[in-house]
Amino acid sequence: MDQFCPICRTPVSANPRYPKYLCSDCVERADDGSGNRLIFFQSSPDGRYAARYAVSGESYASHECFVDEQKCWADEARFGGVVVQLI
């Protein structure tokens, strides 16, 4: 099964659980919709999702983000880590 990043069309590993997940390059460009870049991470060993602003380090409370002005959703992945998907 072939799978591609829905933003830039770069090939990504096939994952039927996350059919619209973004490649790492696109995730690095994620912002809050106003151009403020975001960083996503797990806030605890049990995998809780968290995000913060890249420049200020201030917490970002939403899961909604944008890549190239396209609305996406960041959340904890099933087996750890964070996954960002095009909505």
Contacts of 68 by beta carbon, 8 Å cutoff, 6+ apart = 7, 26, 29
pLDDT of residue 44: 81
Decide if pLDDT at 4 tops 80.
Answer: yes
Domain range annotation of the chain: 3-86
Q: Average model confidence (pLDDT) for the chain?
A: 95
- Phi and psi for 69 in degrees, rounded to 5? 65, 15
pLDDT of residue 76: 94
Q: What is the pLDDT of residues 8-48, one digit of tens each?
A: 999 999 999 999 999 999 999 999 999 999 999 998 877 78
Q: How confident is the model at residue 72 (pLDDT cuts 50, 70, 90)?
A: very high
